[in-house]
Structure 1
Amino acid sequence: MNSPGKHEHHLDGVRILDLFAGPGGLDVAAHFLGFKSIGIEWDQNACETRYAAGLPTIHADVSVMRETRFDEIPESVDVLAGGPPCQSFSVAGNGAGRRALAKVEEYIHRLVDGEDEAKIDKELHDFGEDPRTALVLEPLRWILKAIETEGRDPYKVIVLEQVPAVLPLWKVYAELLRGGEGRLNGVKYEAQYWELKTEEFGVPQTRKRAVLVARLPGQGAVKPPETTHLPFDLHRQKRNTAQADMLPTDSSIARPKQSWISMAKALETASMLPGSPMDVSRLRTGDEMDFFVVSNYGSGGDPKNRGRRLSSEPAFTVTGKISRNKVYKSIAEYEAEKSDRFTIAESGVLQTFPHNFPWSGNDQAQQVGNAVPPRLGMHVLSRALRGNAPSKDELAAATTWPTVPRTTTDELRVIGCGDQSQCPPKSHKITRSRRKSAP
């Protein structure tokens, strides 16, 4: 067991609390901007990645932490960040959250108006839709908890992100935070919300995110982060998925003139960094990265309409099923059904994680897909906390993760899991040795 002094050392100076932290997309962004964070995450696999990466973590349910363990959050925390689970709101999901938007908006108002939370919780439990839908209320509950807890100050900055379908709820959040009424006790925020495209911030992937940023007055107007790259034209050409002659030919795989980042450029650059675990030689034809990707999921409402991307284009939205995307170097390979797959390290790079990020635990593809792209996180956090964009040096440094000593990983695991008694039920596999009976 580590001493309390070591625990304090790891938590000293923590400013950002990351709810639903996952493997650390926002935490990685904060690290390269010079801010220290702590994440709350219930998935043991994601926690193992975080421990290996040296990211302070509490392995717990976000709701339980708020209800019974709020005093364990360092008092230095003045920024609330997070992205509630998006599966029920996602286009790729069953859409329960999208159908329930009006109901969730009603609950948001009821929480701020001071209605009995036990009653609201019972209704949410009996809601009938995907239970994860209610988690989009958790950031608001944490905001109210900080305001109502004696000895705690309201969060100075709030940064939330989700799939685009949640943008109407971020609008409701923003309006309530600006008003300061009900349980907000007169605390008012400057708040704005936007839909951002990841490729416009140098992420080699097309992905849209709904982002909300709120700040206490006195820090200037809240402005959106400035884009650094051109958008990718999703309708660049029409392809008939049922006809082989409409598939990309080897001669058509060329680098575009637009300034967004392609899969080829991202993977090639990462593979050449010192100590890179990536070997992309299998994706080259001669000296050029030359491949195309067939998506695991359908498009245009047709599950059989599997989209395709050239290596000279950004990746599809990286989901937890990215390991099922099929990679081909030629039409001959496609016709012979001889496909390759992206490795976890390559998938992480397409999310803009450092090339040597220490993915750990099981379900690593799911961890990668659930994460916030760190490069997008850097732009959002830098604008929210500093009012400017991340520097070129900060962005350049974000390609490589520092080596984390095993002792640090072990110490962080004790902070996050301790004796495991307060971790989510059944999240640890505990093997007890059998005692031999006495002779």
Structure 2
Amino acid sequence: MNSPVTQVRHLEGVRILDLFAGPGGLDVAAHFLGFKSIGIEWDRNACETRYAAGLPTIHADVSLMRETRFDEIPKTVDVLAGGPPCQSFSVAGNGAGRRALNTVKEFIHRLVDGEDEAQIDEDLRALSDPRTALVLEPFRWLIKAIETEGREPYKVIILEQVPAVLPLWEIYAKLLRGGEGRLEGVKYEAEYWELKTEQFGVPQTRTRAVLVARLPGHGAIEPLETTHLPFDLHRRKRNATQADTLPTDSAPTGTKKRWISMAEALDAASKLKDSPVDVSRLRTGGRMKFFIVSNYGSGGDPKNRGRRQSSEPAFTVTGKISRNKVYKSIAEYEAGQSDRFTIPESGVLQTFPHNFPWSGKDQAQQVGNAVPPRLGMHILGKALCGNAPSDEELANANTWPSVSQATTDGLRRLGCGDRGQCPPKSHNVIRSRQKSVL
């Protein structure tokens, strides 16, 4: 087990609690803004990435952590952040969450009104997709902090999800502003928006629903100021033979920069010291030029695969990004000779540092599940500092600091301990010719 002295060292000065932390998109953003965070994550592989990156982590189920281990969260935490799993709400999922939106709204009101939580939990388990209930967890953590002796209400709340969840964020905002029921006497300034990642310098098109709430005293919450132009998703349709020749969007106007392309992001990452991003295979005559064919169909036709050229932003980076096919030329396309993005390259398209230490299994899924750190920096900067990150802070976010093996080992002991409180079966060893070390 971890010694108390080591625990204090890892948890000293922690301000942000990141629920459903994944590999650390928001935590990476917090690091580059000078804030320390701790994440709760149930997936062992994502935890391994976090340990390797030096990010304090508890390997646990968010619900059980709230119910039985709440006192382990440092009392210095005054910011609650979270991106609950979105599969049941996602357009790419089976839509159970979208169909259950009104039901989930009722659950939120039941929680605030003080109904028996055991009955609420039983009713939540009856939903067609149990993951839908996880979107309620941030609100339950807020109530827990308010009702626990020796704790203070979180000063700031930051939530992020797919656009389909925006109606729930609207309900959250109304209840946070009202300060009624179990929130009696605790009122927040609260706003919510739909944000497009390419308008914040992320080299991909991805839309997110974001809520920011803050205790009064810091002024009204202003909308985030975009830094880049939007990418036109409704430009004329193309086929694979056109992909090499289509022009890029028009030049930037006013103070907004043009969106960042895949080629720009990958080329910049490849030039950094000791970068694992090697794009030489994607160059022709010294120039990076390729196009990608999406793993997903569009327009309701699974065979109608979308296409983007290297001079454009990537499609939304999902856990299936490794299935997207990359071609340097029409000849390669016609011959079926495709390439794939590597994990470091996929991470760069999510704006993770080029040398971020991806670890464990299912790394493509880890990348796709994460919040783009650059977007996270804009959200955290506005919520905690009242302004966007500086150019210097954004420039420094390209490279991750090295982490010693001793630190990784210490964080693993902090997060997993004797594994007795980790999610069931998460450390099972698959027996084969060689045994796993974990």
TM-score, normalized by length of structure 1? Answer: 0.95
How far is 1:304 from its partner? Answer: 1.5
Does the 8 Å CA contact 1:253/1:310 hold for their aligned counterparts? no
Q: Which deviations, in whole Å up to 9, do the C-alpha atoms of 1:172-208 show, x marking residues without a partner?
A: 0000000000001220000000000000000000000
Pick from 247, 257, 278: which aligns with 2:251? 257
- Matching residue's letter, 1:69: R
Counterparts of residues 258-337 of structure 1 (less than 5 Å): 258=252, 259-337=258-336
Matched, 1:248 2:247: no
Matched, 1:48 2:42: no
Q: Which runs of 5+ in 2 are unaligned?
A: 253-257, 432-438
RMSD (Å) for aligned C-alpha atoms:
1.3
Q: Structure 2: how far apart are the matches of 1:54 and 1:123? A: 39
Q: 2:174 maps to what in 1? A: 175
Counterparts of residues 340-351 of structure 1 (less than 5 Å): 340-351=339-350
Q: Which deviations, in whole Å up to 9, do the C-alpha atoms of 1:140-174 show, x marking residues without a partner?
A: 00000000001000000000000000000000000
How far is 1:251 from its partner? Answer: 3.6
Counterparts of residues 389-408 of structure 1 (less than 5 Å): 389-408=388-407
Q: Classify the secondary structure of the residue corresponding to 1:250.
A: coil
Q: Classify the secondary structure of the residue corresponding to 1:15.
A: strand
Q: Structure 2: how far apart are the matches of 1:383 and 1:146? A: 23
Q: Structure 2: how far apart are the matches of 1:191 and 1:79? A: 14
How far is 1:6 from its partner? Answer: 1.5
Pair 27,415 (structure 1): closer, same or farther in 2 beyond 3 Å: same
The more displaced of 2-11 and 62-71 is 2-11
Instruction: Using the aligned pairs only, state the percent identity.
Output: 80
Q: 1:436 maps to what in 2? A: none
Q: Classify the secondary structure of the residue corresponding to 1:115.
A: coil
Q: 1:374 maps to what in 2? A: 373
Q: Which deviations, in whole Å up to 9, do the C-alpha atoms of 1:236-277 show, x marking residues without a partner?
A: 2223x5xx5xx3253436686341000000000000001101
Counterparts of residues 193-272 of structure 1 (less than 5 Å): 193-239=192-238, 241=239, 247-252=241-246, 257-258=251-252, 259-272=258-271
Q: 2:57 maps to what in 1? A: 57
Q: 1:411 maps to what in 2? A: 410
How far is 1:36 from its partner? Answer: 0.2
Q: Structure 1: how far apart are the matches of 2:148 and 2:223? A: 31
Q: Which runs of 5+ in 1 are unaligned?
A: 433-439
- Matching residue's letter, 1:23: P
Q: Structure 2: how far apart are the matches of 1:41 and 1:144? A: 20
Q: Classify the secondary structure of the residue corresponding to 1:188.
A: coil
Q: Structure 2: how far apart are the matches of 1:373 and 1:249? A: 27
Q: Structure 1: how far apart are the matches of 2:305 and 2:246? A: 19
- Matching residue's letter, 2:226: T
Q: Structure 1: how far apart are the matches of 2:189 and 2:46? A: 33
How far is 1:303 from its partner? Answer: 1.5
Does the 8 Å CA contact 1:356/1:401 hold for their aligned counterparts? yes
Q: Structure 2: how far apart are the matches of 1:108 and 1:249? A: 47
Q: Structure 2: how far apart are the matches of 1:126 and 1:431? A: 32
Q: Structure 1: how far apart are the matches of 2:61 and 2:148? A: 20
* Count of residues in correspondence between the two structures: 426
